Amino acid sequence: MSQLFTPYALGPLKLANRIAIAPMCQYSADDGLATDWHMIHLGQLALSGAGLLMTEATAVSPEGRISAWDLGLWSDAHQAALAPVVQAIRKYSSMPLAVQLGHAGRKASSQRPWEGGASVPPSQGGWQTVAPSAVPHAAGEHPPLALDAAGLRKVKDDFVAAARRVHALGIEGIELHGAHGYLLHQFLSPLSNQRTDEYGGSLENRMRFPLEVLRAVRAAVPESVCVGMRISASDWVQGGWDIEQSVAFARELQQAGAHFIHVSSGGVSPLQQIPLGPGYQIHFARRIKHATGLPTIGVGLVTEAEHAESIVAQEDADVVALARAMLYDPRWPWHAAARLGAQVQAPPQYWRSQPRELKDLFGSTRLGQR
């Protein structure tokens, strides 16, 4: 029996299988508002048969956007723009949804990747970025402003307000983006956090603000809403954030009420040296899962069904997240189920697509086939 296609729960969030669609930035919003692209993009993924669909990084404030085209949730208008997308998905799919809430910090105000991805300073149409410390991401970039007490309160309040909008939309899960060199990760890493107050220096101090945000979001939504965090388990830079600090942070997240941890890596420094390869981050997920028992999502160049199956079967992670593989093949879960001898959910409009040799792929949903 395939372990990848067994049910699992991230706290109150019930998944039909262990496949999650990871957040993938689309850079296709209109001043933060969801567009027809989001209806098409998220709609097709909601029909894929995965256990969970996460939206792209969704900015909690205008200055928190990675680019000027990022999706946002900082006003009622942004909630209203996303509502039709959620409603359409709900009409045709039972797949649970989660929104990844994020703030890019010093990596905000950038071009879209297909336009080079470079930082855009205020003098060229960008905006002033903020960070734990006034240290730019890369040499020569416009420096961010170090967040003062009022700035920290605003960021926390922005996360809380966005979380409440997620709940108002009827979405079941929230993932806080604490990875890839964005603001919460910037507080964690000693490479980007050079503060000398209670939010900098020691590991306890560097963890303080991300934990405050997690607790504030957790308190702002009902217990029925799943709340977790994505982290970078390693900066891949000597003297930076590493797996041992990540284990300590995961334990604190667990105590603060997180339902899961999503384990990625890198992004805080252009000096990173990442040994890319299939499943290159999965050993981090395994270390955190076995050290803490916190439900763990593993991710990182997993493209083959058998690889994903082995990750779950060997207890390297509880859930496997896919991103680029899902863009390349939006029916990846169907094809994985076929290869692993499992069953997957599919909308009735597609039941007749089931190949004859895979007559049980869609389980009992074969009614009406000819």
Active site residues: 182
Per-residue three-class SS string for the chain: CCCCCCCEEECCEEECCCEEECCCCCCCCECCECCHHHHHHHHHHCCCCCCEEEEEEEECCHHHCCECCCCECCCHHHHHHHHHHHHHHHHHCCCCEEEEEECCHHHCCECCHHHCCCECCHHHCCCCCEECCCCCCCCCCCCCEECCHHHHHHHHHHHHHHHHHHHHCCCCEEEEEECCCCHHHHHHCCCCCCCCCCCCCCHHHHHHHHHHHHHHHHHHCCCCCEEEEEEECCCCCCCCCCHHHHHHHHHHHHHCCCCEEEEECCCCCCCCCCCCCCCCCHHHHHHHHHHHCCCEEEECCCCCHHHHHHHHHCCCCCEEEECHHHHHCCCHHHHHHHHHCCCCCCCHHHHHHCCHHHCCCCCCCCCCCC
- Alpha-carbon distances, residue 229 vs 174, 296, 297, 345 (angstroms): 8, 10, 10, 27
Contact indicator for 310, 274 with CB cutoff of 8 Å: no
Q: How many CA atoms lie within 13 A of 183 on its CB side?
A: 33
Q: Cα 85 from chain centroid?
A: 18
